[in-house]
Amino acid sequence: MCQSIEQDIKDIEEHIKSLDNQKEEALSKWELLKLDYVSSQLDKIGQPKSMDSVLLVKHRAMQLGYDENHEQARWVMHMVLPDVTMGNVSRTNDFREDSLVSTGTAVKDDYWYSGYDRGHLAPSADFRWSQIALSESYFYSNMSPQLPELNREKWAELENTIRDYVIQYQNEVYVITGPVLSDTLPKMKNEGRKNEVTIPSLFYKIILDVSGDTTTGIAFVMPNGHCGYPALSYATSIDKVEELTGIDFFPSLEDELENKLESNTNTDLFNTRGSEGEISPINPTKLPKGKINTVQAQYNIGTKSCVCGTVVSTKFSEKSGATFLNLDKKFPNQIFSVTIWAKARTNFSYKPEDELYGKKVCITGMLESKDGTPTMNVNSEKNIEIIDDENDD
């Protein structure tokens, strides 16, 4: 009897091993087919075009235009797939030269002790569903000098936001990333370097979603350094990036669709789970002199300021008679809050919790801090200006 049970166990173990082998073979075939699909889709959407001379390089999971004069790509195009949610491939850190770049790429010595990160243009985390794709992301043709303050902070936040969008909506998106390059930019001068690698002052990222019935697109531009605002605050139009770079990013799209996409600056499509009803703070460059956005409020504690944003949540307390407003971000992510105490409500001709909800406003008063969040007490409706969106980009 005992021998029969032992044999049954061995038979089942062999069967499990056989199934594991079959699964590995199937996953390997699936990975190669998926890479073929990505490559065909990138070809279908078409490569960016510009007057600058670049070497077109096609890998399995990404394509890029390499500029030998700057020892980096002017653009790298890849796809972020919903498969990223089930990927478990770990970072390889196998930084190496790209053999497909005939003129040679930057190397380790060019970055070592330079003070700059080897910043991935197409992020490795977007490829964690494929060992082949993730390994390709470590070619030096996919690197550009980024200061740690950018690469490890807001740039990473933007990359995470894009992945969150893909995972939530299960949409495939095209992403084009690159530095804004010119001949007037400085080069890295670290000792032991072998190549002259240009140091960009700006980086861009473009997202195109052609899933479903609606095609959407948006762009972001960030300085190569500390970025003091939330990642979505750096949204701009694809048109603006084309002006900065001289690159036509989607030349194969129909003109009408291309024009519509490339003028968009709306970040609402990135309202992922947990952030519904929240919006990006107003771009500070769009505000009149003397007015600040909700992020800048934290740097002006103790001063009389005019803070602008959108009222995304309101609450009237029956117990205290006070009204509470949050601008741009709701509890528990609030970044700027307003209190209208019961006595001050008599100075309002309307119910602020009803009238102001969803409105874009500029509020003037003394900035204080409560538990680390900038707050303001408002005594009169004269301190609240309701503004419109007509002049927004």
Block means of pLDDT (10 residues each) for the chain, 393 residues, are 77 82 85 96 94 94 97 98 81 91 96 96 94 96 97 93 88 96 95 95 95 82 90 88 94 70 68 63 82 87 94 92 92 88 94 93 94 91 82 41
At how many degrees (to 10) do helices 238-245 and 255-262 cross?
90
- Name the pTM for this structure: 0.73
For residue 170, the model assigns a pLDDT of 87
| Residues facing 310 on adjacent strands | 360
Catalytic residue flag (residue 59): no
Domains of the chain: which residue ranges? 27-270, 284-387
Residue 142 identity: N
Report d(CA 290, CA 385) in Å as an integer. 14
Of 59, 70, 120, 226, the active-site residue reads 120
- Domain 284-387 part of CATH 2.60.40.10: no
Q: What share of the chain is helix, strand, coil (3-state, %, to 5)?
A: 35, 25, 40
Q: What is the pLDDT of residues 62-82, one digit of tens each?
A: 999 999 999 999 999 999 999
Buried b (16+ CB within 10 A) or exposed e, 89-115: beeeeebeebeebeebbbbeebbeebe
pLDDT given for residue 241 in this prediction: 94
Q: Is 136 helix (H, G, I), strand (E, B) or coil?
A: helix
Rounded to 5°, angle at Cα 197 from 80 and 120:
20
Q: Which of 90, 101, 163 is nearest to 126 (CA)?
A: 163
> What's residue 277's pLDDT?
66
Query: Residue 285 and residue 196: Cα distance in Å, rounded?
Result: 34
Share the mean pLDDT of the chain.
Answer: 89
Fold adopted by 27-270: Extracellular Endonuclease; Chain A (3.40.570)
Give the H/E segment covering residue 165: helix 155-169
User: Could you tell me if 110 and 195 are in contact, meaning their C-beta atoms sit under 8 angstroms apart?
Assistant: yes
Q: What is the pLDDT of residue 210?
A: 85
pLDDT at 271: 61
